[in-house]
Amino acid sequence: MKRTPSPHNLQANQGKQISSFRYEDGNKNKAKHKSLPVLRHIKVAVKKVAGLFTILFGQRKAASKAAALIETKRNDSRIRGISSSTDRSSGSDTRSKSSSKFKFSQSTSSASGLIETTNFSYEEILKATEKFSPANQIGEGRFGTVYKGRLADGSLVAVKRARKAASDKLLLETEFKNEILTLSTIEHLNLVRLYGYLEHGDERIIVVEYVANGTLREHLDGTNGNELETGERLDIAIDVAHAITYLHMYKDPPIIHRDIKSLNILITEKLRAKVADFGFARSSADPNATHISTQVKGTAGYLDPEYLKTYQLTVKSDVYSFGVLLVELMTGRRPIEPKKPTNERITTRWAIQMLKRGDAIFVMDPRLRRNPASTMVLEKVLLLAQECLAPLRNSRPSMKKCAEVLWGIRKDFQEKSLLSSSSDVHFSANYPVRDAKRTRRTSFGIQDDDCQRFIISA
């Protein structure tokens, strides 16, 4: 018999169910309330971790941006020639003698702006020059004697050894320090590179790049065996103009060379030019400022007359010397020729007077081939020289302007040479091959294009 639950029992059971439901809900609420603080802690912890990651990744991102910026600046400085790559060993004070040789690598200037150099030992210099053998002597000048040296790794260098005369000791010491200081801050295709130096007792030695083909003066005198053609002389003039422009415009402060002359222009095997000898160089805080000098320094025939009168030195003094060099290149004569007739002894005065009279052809170096192209070069170069030789410095052009004018002259020379070579104009047998071809190659070659971009865009 089926039992029917009584109302009382039904209510009791419902009460139990309700109470059980309430009890279960209560447990759930309690669990829920207990879980809330845990969730909050977890959320806070997650936020903290996220914040930490944001900071870390933000710093890393910022660091990477900074590194990229620094690298961009470094690359930019190399492009502009401020710290162009060269072949040089890093060297160190703690290296052994056997490790003192050059390790040719792509190195750049240090953060301080100074070029890294090698501290040579006296034993290394003696070995490189075979104890300063007369057979290795390649030059002699105001500072002392220059020797050709070969390092342990076979690298060729030029070793400048100061004279030891007691009367010149202070002067030579000043020139020694001045040349090292200047060379350690410059780096350019057309400037001789500094490799290192040495102070050993009373010895003062500077080790620089070896340039194999002698000086410009030797070539103009014909003692080197190579006769420079018109196009080659233009190349040399442009190289020198590039070098001085770099010193005047792209060094801070600007550097005044003070001794631009044919004996200080070294010629490479490819007949390109490198400016050397910075013993007289001087920094200028302002390229337009004048500096009073207690002692005139330079070489007779190349000295700025305004500097001689006022003792005031500016970058335009280098421009005057460059004008003398241009006349020297076109005439082949030295600035002062005491054995010539009176009206020809000062070469620049004689050449400019002949130019004004329309007789420039008579001052052309006899070694140069005479033809319409070379005559055009002679006249235009002498006109530029006339501007550089202006008595007042403010009337002289800048070195950058000189380089641009010479660049245009060489372009015209190339075009005129090519036209003349196909006409009935008489040339010597090998003239079109040497001048026209060489000018065409150097006018559009990598070396000169780089120099032109450097001067105009740096």
pLDDT tens digit sequence for 124-176: 999 999 999 999 999 887 788 999 999 998 999 999 998 876 566 777 788 88
CB 262 within 8 A of CB 216: yes
pLDDT, mean of residues 78-101: 31
Phi-psi map region of 293: left, alpha, beta (phi>0 left; psi -120 to 50 alpha):
beta
* CA–CA dist 333, 336 (Å, integer): 8
Higher pLDDT, 322 or 12: 322
360-to-133, 341, 352, 387 alpha-carbon distances in Å: 46, 17, 8, 16
DSSP state letters, 67-108: HHHHHHHHHHHHHTTTT--EEE----TT--GGG-S---EEE-
Other CB atoms within 10 A of residue 400 CB: 18
DSSP 359-392: -GGGGS-TTSPPSHHHHHHHHHHHHHHHHHT-SS
What confidence score (pLDDT) does residue 144 get? 86
**Which of the residue ranges 280-284, 365-369, 448-452 has the most confident prediction, judged by mean pLDDT?**
365-369
Catalytic residue, chosen from 235, 259, 318, 365, is: 259
The 10s digit of each residue's pLDDT in 391-447 is 999 999 999 999 999 999 999 999 999 887 655 444 443 333 344 334 333 333 334
Q: How many helices (H) and strands (E) does the chain have?
A: 13, 14
CA pair distance 190, 148, nearest whole angstrom: 20
Element (H, E) at 410: helix 399-421
Dihedral sign of CA atoms 312, 313, 319, 323 in order: positive
Amino acid (1-letter code) at residue 83: S
Pick the closest to residue 143 from 176, 100, 111 (CA basis).
Answer: 176
Q: In whole angstroms, what is the distance from residue 15 CA to residue 289 CA?
A: 109
Three-state DSSP state, 406: helix
**385 vs 233: CA distance, rounded Å:** 14
Q: Is 259 among the residues known to form the active site?
A: yes
DSSP 320-374: HHHHHHHHHHHH---SB-TTS-GGGSBHHHHHHHHHHTT-GGGGS-TTSPPSHHH
Tell me what the mean pLDDT of segment 171-193 comes to.
88
List the domains of the chain with CATH numbers: 86-209 (3.30.200.20), 216-457 (1.10.510.10)
How do residues 363-391 score in pLDDT, each as one tens digit?
999 999 999 999 999 999 999 999 999 99
- Cα 410 to its chain centre, rounded Å, is 23
State mean pLDDT over 324-340: 97
Question: Three-class SS of residue 304?
Answer: coil
What's the chain's average pLDDT?
Answer: 75
In sequence order, what are the beta bridge partners of 148?
A: 158
Tokens, residue 274? 């490198």
Peptide bond preceding 253: is omega within 30 degrees of 0, i.e. cis? yes
